[in-house]
């Protein structure tokens, strides 16, 4: 789960990490009221769960309270990377003498956490690593020791700081690590963490991504999975207990089992196609769940054709077939579907679909090739 900036900053403040003065507005009038209590210049920041808001026009700076209304109205009327802006974070703009980066994330290759820091903040850390890898500090964390205060001091020293600034910066680093561990973060970062002209440090922007599997430990965020910051397809998938990920292609994909769906995506790309999504209905999916999956996939206007790939074990092929027909009739689906059914009650499932005039294939490779050719118009 991706927290919004204001949520991440509240967590940072809870752990004693300095952030600029600000507050949350859900309409233009609130934005103007908040701005009256702040010292210009003022930053107006769209609260959407994506990185790169600045480049996408989601952060505006104004020099007076009078300009806040116009800027807020502009942001409330746009979408940032496909997400509507429903709230704004209004805060004092901070001018930096220097911008730093510090974050803790999961290192899946080494099955642990890794601390990443750089004296070149303010841009994507991947960009810094690609252009100037020597300026990125990587510090893998080893169990059971984790990240200790003396580790934080070592990193601050490597970034060129001494005396009081070193101690202050080390405390910020260590507190961020503690926050990340408490909230089961897959990623927690400050970018930029700015050094001001008076030698102090403030986290101007922050990101936290919480491991979905740990949300039972953080009930305060439980309701967030159905919030409007999610795409319509993600909201509907969450309601129906379906695993859905939006991709950038035009061939919809439904399968049962994450491995099978991943193999289906690979097969489509092997034949020159581009998958529009990942959707796993899981094991033993009843017809209602299959119908819900079709509704979600076809609600994406980019989808030109659908590939349904079912390997029946505890999932019954006849139930899948009934779900397909139910959705086809209810939604009035006209777009082409390529279906591969193999496994439990395979013959019954094929019979149901063939009687409705829908062909069924046995080979995943043949089905993948066919759906790609359909989309290409050949």
pLDDT digits (tens, 9 = 90+) for 85-121: 999 999 999 999 999 999 999 999 989 999 999 998 8
Rounded distance, CA 210 to CA 86, Å? 21
Spell out a b/e string for 339-361, using b for 16 or more CB atoms within 10 Å of the CB, else e: bbbbbbbbebbbebbeeeebebb
The pTM for the full model equals: 0.70
pLDDT the model gives residue 378? 65
Catalytic residue among 101, 174, 177, 244: 101
Q: Where in the chain is the domain with CATH 3.30.1490.20?
A: 21-92
CATH number for 98-221: choose from 3.30.470.20, 2.70.98.30, 3.40.50.720, 3.40.640.10: 3.30.470.20
* Coil/strand/helix, residue 299: coil
Q: pLDDT band for 139, please (50, 70, 90 cuts).
A: very high
To which H or E segment does residue 29 belong?
helix 28-36
Q: Catalytic residue, from 189, 195, 229, 346: name it.
A: 189
> 97 near 195, Cβ under 8 Å?
yes
Stretch(es) of the chain classified as CATH 3.30.470.20: 98-221
Could you confirm whether domain 231-373 is CATH 3.40.50.261?
Answer: yes
Task: Tell me where in the chain the CATH 3.40.50.261 domain(s) lie.
Answer: 231-373
C-alpha neighbours within 13 Å on the C-beta side of residue 359: 9
At residue 215, does pLDDT exceed 80? yes
More confident residue, 100 or 83: 100
How far, in Å, CA of 90 to CA of 32, rounded?
A: 9
Confidence band (pLDDT; 50, 70, 90) for 315? confident
Q: What angle do CA 97, 8, 223 make, to 5 degrees?
A: 165
Residue 228: what pLDDT? 47
Q: Is the distance from CB of 180 to CB of 199 less than 8 angstroms? A: no
Which ranges of 200-257 would DSSP assign to H, the alpha helix?
232-239
pLDDT at 311: 87
pLDDT in tens, 296-306: 999 999 999 99
Indicate the CATH number for domain 21-92.
Answer: 3.30.1490.20
Is residue 189 part of the annotated active site? The answer reads: yes
Q: Quick one: pLDDT at residue 73?
A: 96
C-alpha neighbours within 13 Å on the C-beta side of residue 83: 24
Across the range 330-352, mean pLDDT stands at: 90
């Amino acid at each position: 789960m991706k927290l919004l900036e204001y949520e991440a900053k509240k967590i940072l403040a809870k752990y004693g990490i300095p952030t600029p003065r600000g507050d949350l507005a859900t309409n233009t009038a609130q934005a103007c009221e908040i701005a009256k209590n702040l010292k210009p210049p003022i930053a107006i920041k769209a609260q959407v769960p994506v990185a790169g808001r600045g480049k996408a026009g989601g952060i505006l700076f104004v020099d007076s309270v009078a300009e806040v209304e116009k800027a807020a109205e502009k942001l409330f009327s746009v979408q940032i990377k496909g997400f509507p802006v429903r709230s704004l974070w209004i805060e004092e703009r901070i001018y930096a003498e220097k911008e730093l980066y510090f974050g803790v994330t999961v290192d899946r290759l080494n099955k642990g956490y890794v601390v990443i820091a750089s004296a070149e903040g303010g841009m994507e850390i991947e960009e810094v690593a690609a252009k100037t890898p020597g300026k990125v500090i990587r510090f893998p964390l080893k169990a059971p020791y984790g990240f200790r205060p003396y580790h934080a001091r070592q990193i601050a020293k490597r970034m060129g700081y001494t005396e009081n600034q070193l101690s202050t910066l080390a405390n910020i680093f260590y507190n961020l690590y503690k926050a990340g561990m408490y909230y089961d973060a897959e990623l927690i970062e400050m970018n930029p963490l700015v050094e001001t002209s008076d030698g102090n440090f403030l986290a101007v922007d922050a990101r936290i991504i919480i491991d979905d599997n740990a949300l039972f430990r953080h009930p305060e965020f439980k309701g967030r999975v159905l919030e409007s910051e999610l795409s319509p397809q993600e909201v509907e998938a969450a309601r129906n207990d379906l695993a859905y990920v939006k991709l950038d292609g035009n061939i919809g994909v439904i399968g049962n089992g994450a491995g099978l769906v991943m193999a289906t995506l690979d097969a489509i790309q092997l034949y020159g196609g581009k998958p529009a999504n990942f959707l796993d209905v899981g094991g033993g999916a009843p017809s209602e769940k299959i119908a819900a999956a079709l509704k979600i996939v076809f609600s994406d206007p980019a989808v030109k054709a659908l590939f349904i790939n079912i390997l029946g074990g505890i999932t019954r092929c006849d139930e899948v077939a009934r779900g397909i027909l139910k959705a086809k009739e209810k939604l009035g689906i006209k777009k082409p579907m390529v279906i591969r059914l193999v496994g439990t009650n395979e013959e019954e499932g094929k019979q149901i679909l063939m009687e409705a005039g829908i062909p069924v294939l046995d080979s995943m490779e043949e089905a993948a090739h066919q759906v790609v050719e359909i989309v290409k118009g050949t």
